[in-house]
Every structure is written in C-alpha cells, then in structure tokens.
Amino acid sequence: MTANASSNGASTNARYRPSAQFKPFEWVQGDRLDSSRQSQAAFLNDARDIVQGAQTLVQLLGWDEDRRDAAASDADPAPLFDTCQRESLQRLLSATLGLLHARIEVQCEALAE
C-alpha cells in the first residue's frame, strides 16, 4: 500500500481510499447446482469472502491511519495498530490477494482446456 507508493511517483503519504461503497456479496447456493458447478460455486464464494475481507481490512487500516495522524496532532485516542502490525496486515492483504489471483488463473486455465 503506502510502502510502494514512492516507487510509482506518488507521495509516500498517499493512501488507497476506495471511492465507491462496497456492497457485500451474496453467496451462491451450491446445493441448488449440479455437481459439476458446485466446485465453481464454492470457489466463487471463497473469492467473494476474500475480496470482502480485504476491502474491510483496507477500510480498517485507513481508519487507523487517520486515527494515528490525529493522535500525533492532539489528544485524540491512539491508533489500534503500531507500524509493525500495520505492515504485517498490509503483507497479509498482498499474500491473500496473490493466492486468490493464483486460484483465478488455475480456474481460467481449466476453462481454456
């Protein structure tokens, strides 16, 4: 997130802030599908959970960074996460989305065969 911001020309203080409100997904009911499509429905449900969790974590990290900035300037409450925890959560986001990307690629390759 902010760790790579300077490499693309952006300010190191720039943060990713989603411009649209995130609408939670509804699960695909696999029991209503034939057996060949149940695994695809399970994958989509997992992917939706990962995307929703990542979005929630991005929002939490943004809120916590705002709280950190405010605490530095006055007597507002301290942030929940220290720098190490924040960086760990950002790495978790990257790893999780990387794993999801790999699973998507496997699914796409299977469809192309």
* Cα(107)–Cα(34) distance, integer angstroms: 18
- Asked if pLDDT for residue 15 goes beyond 60, the answer is no
Structure tokens at 36: 């060949």
User: Using 50, 70 and 90 to split pLDDT, how confident is the model at 21?
Assistant: low
**What integer is the mean pLDDT of 9-19?**
44
- Asked if pLDDT for residue 18 goes beyond 60, the answer is no
At 41-72, the pLDDT tens digits run 888 888 888 888 899 999 999 999 888 888 77
Find the distance separating the first CA and the last CA of the chain, reported in whole Å: 36
- Asked if pLDDT for residue 5 goes beyond 70, the answer is no
**What integer is the mean pLDDT of 32-40?**
80
> 0.95 cut: is pTM over it?
no
Q: Which of 57, 56, 51 is nearest to 99 (CA)?
A: 51
3-state helix, strand, coil in the chain (%, to 5): 65, 0, 35
Which comes out higher in pLDDT, residue 108 or 12? 108
